[in-house]
Amino acid sequence: MNKLSFGVLLNISFLLFLFFTSTLLSQNTSSSWSATFENPRCFIENKGQFHIRRSTEAVLFAVDNGPNTIYFTSKGVSYSFLKRWKKEEDDDENERYENNEDWMKKEEAERRMEFKTDVVSFSWVNANPNPEIISVEQTNDYHSYNIKNKCGSEKNINNIKGYKKLIYKELYPHTDV
């Protein structure tokens, strides 16, 4: 086989390789990949990451829907609604930072958010004060939270289990919820 024939054969092989590779890649990308974030649809165990604002009731499980969270306690259910928005700056505050070289304080002021929280709680009336709460059908995924304590230090809580169902056993005589 001479050099010319070998070169032609090599070029044809390369072109066939490119053709089949591009065909395979275009077939695989036709089912385009996409990723979207969804809040978990499960009852998440409380390992210290959930607290009901202005309540001493211990949270046992919660459904975390971002700004809206549903808390489950032995005595009832609480819904928390959070609305947040960027704080509007007044002109005096802008002037204070324009003349100041402390850019960190300016950035901190720009990141300030305002919050409004509403909590609605429901209590089981005349119910068993200590019902057995059973979590059923553990989900495959785990949950992680980064929380700040009152001192301001941060703590990571990892590998928290989620469940598809919660059952309040004998909440009322012969009645499970």
Quick: pLDDT tens for 77-133.
998 888 877 777 655 555 555 555 566 666 666 667 787 888 888 899 999 988 999
- Specify whether the backbone of 76 is left (phi greater than 0), alpha (psi in -120 to 50) or beta: left
Which pLDDT value is given to residue 110? 61
- Mean of the per-residue pLDDT values of the chain: 77
Q: Are strands 113-123 and 132-148 parallel, antiparallel or unpaired?
A: unpaired
CA 156, 45, 59, 164 torsion-angle sign: positive
Q: What is the pLDDT of residues 131-163, one digit of tens each?
A: 999 999 999 888 888 888 777 788 888 889 999
Contact 170, 133 (CB under 8 A): no
Report if pTM > 0.75.
no
- The radius of gyration computed from the CA coordinates of the chain, to the nearest angstrom, equals 29
